[in-house]
Structures are given as C-alpha cells and as structure tokens.
C-alpha cells in the first residue's frame, strides 16, 4: 500500500479485502478454538470409552474388551459405596435447589432493577458468598449446626450451604436476563389496569421464561455436582460428588469411569432438555410473530 493512497481508497480496499477472504487471524483463532474444544471434550470422551471395558479393564488405554461389567459392578458391589442412595439424594437435593433458586433469583432480579436502601450491601453480600472458599463456609456451617445442637444432613445444612453459592450465581444470570427485558411491556400492562400479580404472572414471567429455565439449569447442575460446600455439611449420608470423591481416593478400577459416564449422562439429559425447551419457546415466538400467528 502506498502512503499516497487516500483514506477513502484505503477503506474501500479494506472493505473489499473483508468481503473476499478472511484475515490470517481468523485461521489462527479458529485453530485455537478447535484445540480448546478438543481439549475440553477429548479427556471426557476417553473415560466414557474406557468405562465400557470388560473385567480385565484398567485405568488407561488400550481398551480391554467391551462390556457393561463396570456399570453392573457400580450398582451391585458394596465396596464401591452406596452409589444408588447417593444418586437418589443428589437428584432430590438438586430438584429442591432448582426450585428455590428459580423463585428467589427471580424475586431478587425484580428487586435489583431499581435502587433500594441497602441494595449495595446485599449485592456485595452476594458477591462475597460467591467467591468465599467453599470449604471454609462448609466448615463454618458445620460448626454452626454443631453449636446449635442440630444434626447436619443433606436436606438442611447441605441445602443451605449449596444455596449460599448457587443463589448468587442464579441472581447474576437473572441480571443478564432482566437487562434484556423491555420495561415498556410492564408499563403497558400497568396502564391497561393489570394488578401487580397479573403483571408478574401474565407479562414478566412468560416473557423471560427462557431465562428462568436457564437459571433452573444452573441451579440443578451446580447443585448436582457441588462438592466443597457439601463435604462438611452433608452429615452421615453422602451425595453423589462426595461418593465420587471417596472413589477417586480408593477405587482404581474402571467402575470410577462408569460412575463418571452415568453421572454425565444425567447432566447431559438435563442440559439437553433445558436447551431444547428454550429453543422450542423461541421458535414458537418466532412463529407467533408472523402475521396470523398468536403471540
């Protein structure tokens, strides 16, 4: 390029270049992206594959046979611990956390749209709870229950300890959802004489429904996999991540991988169902937007 080229000509040349091909940075960054995704999924895929070995199977490649031996082993052997029971507890706890997270985050999301006395304090309380070391809070919660003479259990102390980190997360996601909500719709409902509840139930909730599902997804998966805060608060009965944790320390057979495969299948099912529901709602809306459709 010459120094004499006018800015307009330069801009035009660049615009043309943009239209024709992609800059080298595109290929470099695409390479990085592919590397990242492969590194993200590759190891996980390895353990899913390895969990299908037969009885001779070990912790590394090559594959030794093909069977469901380690899955059966997982649910029938006593030495691997109470997998079935911990599964059950983790799912129940996650459902409980999800319900509470969606409701509480939604309410907090509504509140934080405008300033109220003490809002900054609540905000920093939330950030503090989010970044505080999980094990410290877990120990504190355990000691608190101890001091009050209440037995720790997964549905009391562990539930609260999990909420102390999952709720702030849910509220942050809710902030993002609320920032895309156009207040005009709410104002219109007011002007048309809707009551406060009607405005919330008939206007706000349906509009931000996909966002609420996303908050629920965070609630479920974060609870289902939570470890640090649950460790000291779950009491005598383990949740699934605690079970996996004790297995990583004692079990050196592919049944550990089998457990990883099973729990990941559940996570994927939840993620898939949530994302599919969100997509479905968006699609219906797109159709409703066309002439003749219903909003």
In the complex, minimum distance from the CB of residue 129 to other proteins, in angstroms, rounded to a whole number: 4
Other beta carbons within 10 Å of 87: 18
**Smallest separation, CB 292 to other proteins (Å):** 25
83 exposed, middle or buried (CB, 10 Å; 0-12, 13-18, 19+)?
A: buried
Angle between helices 209-224 and 83-111 (to 10 degrees): 140
Instruction: Kindly identify the residues of this chain, within the stretch 5-24, that bind other proteins according to CB under 8 A.
Output: 7, 10-11, 14, 22-23
Q: Does 282 bind other proteins (CB under 8 A)?
A: no
Q: How far is the CB of 72 from other proteins (least distance, A)?
A: 20
**Is 44 an interacting residue with respect to other proteins (CB under 8 A)?**
yes
- Beta-carbon contacts of 142 under 8 Å, excluding residues fewer than 6 positions away, are 152, 157, 232, 233
**Footprint (CB under 8 A) of other proteins, residues 84-103:** 103
248 contributes a contact to other proteins by CB under 8 A? yes
**Does 211 engage in binding with other proteins (CB under 8 A)?**
no
Nearer to other proteins, 249 or 292 (CB): 249
- Residue 163 vs 213, nearer CB to other proteins: 163
What's the count of helices (H) and strands (E) in the chain, helices before strands?
A: 14, 0
Determine, following the binding rule CB under 8 A, whether residue 56 of this chain makes contact with other proteins: no
Q: Measuring CA to CA, how many Å separate 280 from each of 160, 210, 286?
A: 33, 9, 10
List the interface residues with other proteins, window 120-149 (CB under 8 A).
Answer: 120, 122-123, 125-129, 131-141, 143-144, 147
- Segment 165 to 184, residues that bind other proteins, using CB under 8 A: 167-168, 171-172, 175-176, 179
Alpha-carbon distance of 250 to 40, in angstroms, equals 26
Contact yes or no for 106/211 (Cβ under 8 A): no
């Amino acid at each position: 390029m010459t120094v004499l080229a006018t800015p307009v000509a330069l801009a035009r040349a660049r615009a043309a270049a943009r239209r024709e091909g992609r800059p080298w940075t595109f290929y470099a960054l695409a390479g990085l992206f592919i590397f990242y995704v492969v590194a993200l999924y590759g190891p996980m895929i390895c353990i899913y594959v390895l969990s299908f070995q037969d009885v001779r199977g070990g912790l590394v490649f090559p594959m030794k046979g093909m069977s469901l031996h380690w899955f059966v082993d997982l649910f029938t052997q006593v030495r691997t611990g109470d997998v079935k029971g911990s599964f059950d507890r983790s799912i129940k706890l996650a459902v409980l956390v999800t319900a509470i997270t969606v409701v509480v985050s939604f309410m907090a999301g509504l509140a934080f749209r405008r300033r109220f006395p003490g809002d900054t304090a609540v905000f920093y309380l939330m950030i503090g709870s989010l970044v505080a070391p999980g094990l410290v809070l877990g120990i504190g919660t355990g000691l608190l229950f101890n001091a009050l003479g209440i037995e720790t259990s997964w549905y009391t102390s562990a539930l609260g300890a999990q909420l102390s980190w999952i709720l702030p997360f849910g509220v942050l996601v809710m902030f993002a959802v609320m920032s895309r909500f156009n207040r005009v719709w709410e104002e219109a409902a007011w002007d048309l004489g809707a009551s406060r509840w009607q405005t919330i139930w008939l206007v706000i909730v349906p509009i931000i429904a996909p966002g609420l599902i996303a908050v629920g997804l965070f609630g479920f998966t974060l609870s289902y996999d939570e470890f640090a805060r649950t460790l000291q608060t779950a009491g005598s009965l383990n949740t699934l991540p605690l079970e996996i944790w004790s297995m990583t320390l004692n079990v050196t057979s592919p049944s550990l991988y089998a457990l990883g495969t099973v729990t990941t299948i559940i996570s994927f099912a939840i993620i898939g169902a949530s994302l599919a529901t969100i997509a479905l709602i968006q699609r219906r809306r797109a159709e409703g937007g066309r002439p003749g459709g219903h909003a």
